[in-house]
Amino acid sequence: MIRAIDWEAFKELRGGEKREYFMRDGNIFHVVMAQQFDRPFLDYICDLTTKIRGIAKGNQGMLFLQSLLQTKRAMLYFVQPSTRTFLSFMSACQILGMRCSEVRDPTTSSEMKGETQEDTVRTFSSYVDLTIMRHVQERFAEKMAWLLNQTGRPVSVINAGSGKDQHPTQALLDIYTLHRSFENYGGIDGKAIAMIGDLLRGRTVRSLTYLLKNYDGVKIYFVAPRGLQMGEDLKDYLRENDVDFEESENLDEIIPLVDALYMTRIQDEYDQGDESKKIDYSKFHFTGDHLKLLKPNAIIMHPLPRRAEIRPEVDQDRRAMYWRQVRNGMWVRVALIAKIFLADREIMNY
Ligand code: NCD
């Protein structure tokens, strides 16, 4: 374990340098940022997820999964809107037999009496073994993991979305979806992947970009309106890790080149004024006509919720993967929680 240091110094460390801080006895303990995962871990989580899905097909298997973490409790602290991520974490915990409590509205907690967020998180972490959190503040989960590590009773933290910054478990389910889709086509290595939309403020595309550096020969196309292109920090990360990428504003030109399209909505909840309204986002919408341009084995992804980025008529196409992503998300989260609590061996031996 790296030495406990103050938050300011810890904050300055780069993702990889913090890895040890998120581990316990060589195992994943906190899930905070995508940079903490390496290729063996990603391959293992994909295998574990597939194994769990197989086990869950039968009643006996479901009962086995439910027996694994019956003595553990989880807290879901979701103070930013969420449908899928909240429900899939809740379902994942329940599949493993865990009991869950939740805070979704900070106006019902003692934060309203002036308690700091740090004290609030420390309080509810006293009752549970795992805290899953979504927060509008960037690096919130990271700070809480750091804070809990300084206490006598640290519990695992999972980041379920931290402002514009990261959404590492969404990135894991995206990797699982890509892995399954390309299983018979050489895997994720060597694939061309386009990310489309508000890349500056979209945390899903940021976390996924970090994960893609673990795959050989990947090419990433960032297709975004001017002003919403992928952040310099991520582009520097790709350059340092020799990942090939290109920026574009022209969706039609990029569609025929790629194996996967990752569509996203405009993240206007982070607007300072009305800047989003000035952008013609319709140029970054995928329509039924675009299907003709797409390679036969390419896939269309979206973290959801969508607005008009993908027209409903596209849903019927076999290359549309976004509803499958929703389902995959639950199973990947089962795998991740099982891994954190060291129940994965038992699953693999089932
Ligand atoms: C995303 C999020 O919250 O970042 N949703 C999700 O978790 N699936 C994407 C979004 O809100 O646009």
Give pLDDT tens digits for 230-272.
999 999 999 999 999 999 999 999 999 999 999 999 999 999 9
Structure tokens at 179: 């892995």
Centre of ligand 1 to C-alpha 149, Å, is 28
Dist. CA 17–CA 210, nearest whole Å: 15
Ligand 1: which of 82, 158, 170, 323 to mutate, most ligand atoms within 8 Å of CB? 170
At residue 2 the predicted structure's pLDDT band, cuts being 50, 70 and 90, is: low
For the entire predicted model, the pTM comes to 0.97
Q: Indicate which residue's Cα is closest to atom 8 of ligand 1.
A: 303
Q: What do you get for the CA distance between the two ends of the chain, in Å?
A: 32
Specify burial of residue 295 (Cβ count, 10 A radius: 0-12, 13-18, 19+).
Answer: middle
Centre of ligand 1 to C-alpha 119, Å, is 27
Is a pLDDT exceeding 70 seen at residue 327? Answer: yes
Dist. CA 180–CA 149, nearest whole Å: 35
Is a pLDDT exceeding 90 seen at residue 195? Answer: yes
Dist. CA 124–CA 100, nearest whole Å: 12
**DSSP string of 204-249, one letter each residue:** HHHHHHHHHTTSTT-EEEEE--TT-SPPHHHHHHHHHTT-EEEEES
Q: Which residues line ligand 1 (CB under 6 A)?
A: 84-85, 161, 167, 170, 203-204, 264-265, 303-305
Is a pLDDT exceeding 70 seen at residue 4? Answer: no
Centre of ligand 1 to C-alpha 167, Å, is 8
Phi and psi, residue 42, nearest 5°: -65, -45
Is a pLDDT exceeding 90 seen at residue 64? Answer: yes
Name all domains of the chain by residue range, CATH numbers in brackets.
Answer: 7-167+328-348 (3.40.50.1370), 168-324 (3.40.50.1370)
Dist. CA 231–CA 3, nearest whole Å: 31
% of the chain beyond a pLDDT of 70:
99
User: What was the pLDDT predicted at 258?
Assistant: 98
Q: Indicate which residue's Cα is closest to atom 6 of ligand 1.
A: 303
Catalytic positions, written as ranges: 84-85, 113, 134, 167
Mean pLDDT of 334-350: 98
**Helices 84-95 & 59-68 angle (0-180, nearest 10):** 90
Q: Determine how many CB atoms are found less than 10 A away from the CB of residue 288.
A: 13
**DSSP string of 301-337, one letter each residue:** E--S--SSSB-GGGGGSTTB-HHHHHHHHHHHHHHHH
Span 139-183, pLDDT tens digits: 999 999 999 998 989 999 999 999 999 999 999 999 999 999 999
Dist. CA 183–CA 209, nearest whole Å: 20
Span 42-59, pLDDT tens digits: 999 999 999 999 999 999
Pairing verdict, β 219-223 and 192-196:
parallel
Structure tokens at 203: 């945390």
